[in-house]
C-alpha cells in the first residue's frame, strides 16, 4: 500500500461526457503528479501541483484540467471525452526525497 | 522525440537466465530512477542513482548509472517469475518539476 488513494478504480462512460478523478496523497506529501498511461503512449506526464499551486505542465489537453485543494487532495477533470481518452490515470505524491509513490490508478473506458 | 529511450521494448526469458535492460538519452541528468510496474498496479521505485559510474545492488538486481550520466542499465541475475513486469526509467527535467518516464521494457519470466 503506497498510501496514495485514487477513486474511482474503474469508470465507464460515453463520448462527450465529463468525469472527475480524485487523488488523496500520502500524509505529509505536498506534491501531486498526474499521469496518463495507455498501451501505445506509455506513462505520460500531465500536470504537477505543489501545495495547491500548479508547478509543471506536460502534454495535457485543453479538455483536461486539474486542481489541488487546501487539504492537498487533487482532482483531474476530463471533459468532452473521446474514445482515445480511454486509459489508466495515475496519481503520485512525492516527499522531498523525490521518490514517486503511485496510487493504484483509475481505469477510464470511453464507449 | 522521446527524452528517454529504453531497450529492448519486450523481453521474454526462461527462469534462471540473466538479462540486461537499458535506458538511454542524449541529455545529462542529475539523477535517474528505476521503477517496476506490475499489471493493474502503479509503478514502484526500485532505486535512484545519482553519481556518474555509480553501481547499486538490490538483491539480484544491479543498477548502473553511466559515467556521463546520460544512460543507465539494469541487470537481473537468475531471473524469477516474480521479476515479471514493466521496468521504467525516469528522470526529473532540470528546468522544471516534471518527472518523465521512458517507454519501459516489458519483461516476462517463464517458469
Contact A100 B90 (CB under 8 A): yes
CB contact set of A100 (below 8 Å; sequence gap of 6+): A33, A92, A93, A94, B33, B35, B43, B45, B90, B99
**CA-closest candidate to residue A29, choices A65, A64, A71:** A71
Residue B93 has pLDDT above 80, yes or no: no
The tens digit of pLDDT for each residue in A44-81 reads 999 999 999 999 999 899 999 999 999 999 999 999 99
Contact B41 A48 (CB under 8 A): no
Give pLDDT, residue B45.
95
- Place A98 in a pLDDT band, splitting at 50, 70 and 90: confident
* Contact by Cβ (8 Å): A107, A39: no
Portion of chain A with pLDDT greater than 70, in percent: 100
Give pLDDT, residue A97.
80
Q: Which residues of B touch A43 (CB under 8 A)?
A: 43, 88, 101, 104
CB-CB: which of B40, B99, B104 is closest to A33?
A: B99
Amino acid at each position: 500500500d503506497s498510501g496514495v488513494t485514487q477513486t474511482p478504480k474503474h469508470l465507464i462512460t460515453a463520448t462527450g461526457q465529463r468525469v472527475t478523478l480524485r487523488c488523496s496523497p500520502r500524509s505529509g506529501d505536498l506534491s501531486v503528479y498526474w499521469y496518463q498511461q495507455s498501451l501505445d503512449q506509455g506513462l505520460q506526464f500531465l500536470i504537477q501541483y505543489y501545495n495547491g499551486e500548479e508547478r509543471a505542465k506536460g502534454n495535457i489537453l485543453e479538455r483536461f484540467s486539474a486542481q489541488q485543494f487546501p487539504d492537498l487532495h487533487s482532482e483531474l477533470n476530463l471533459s468532452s471525452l473521446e474514445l482515445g481518452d480511454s486509459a489508466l490515470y495515475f496519481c503520485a505524491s512525492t516527499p522531498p526525497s523525490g521518490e514517486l509513490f503511485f496510487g493504484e490508478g483509475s481505469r477510464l473506458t470511453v464507449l | 522525440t522521446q527524452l528517454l529511450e529504453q531497450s529492448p521494448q519486450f523481453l521474454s526469458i526462461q527462469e534462471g537466465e540473466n538479462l540486461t535492460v537499458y535506458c538511454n538519452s542524449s541529455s545529462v541528468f542529475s539523477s535517474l530512477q528505476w521503477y517496476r510496474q506490475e499489471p493493474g498496479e502503479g509503478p514502484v521505485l526500485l532505486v535512484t542513482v545519482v553519481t556518474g559510474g555509480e553501481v547499486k545492488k538490490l538483491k539480484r538486481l544491479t543498477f548502473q548509472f553511466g559515467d556521463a550520466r546520460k544512460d543507465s542499465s539494469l541487470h537481473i541475475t537468475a531471473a524469477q517469475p516474480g521479476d515479471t513486469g514493466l521496468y521504467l526509467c525516469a528522470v526529473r527535467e532540470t528546468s522544471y518539476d516534471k518527472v518523465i518516464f521512458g517507454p519501459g521494457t516489458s519483461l516476462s519470466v517463464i517458469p
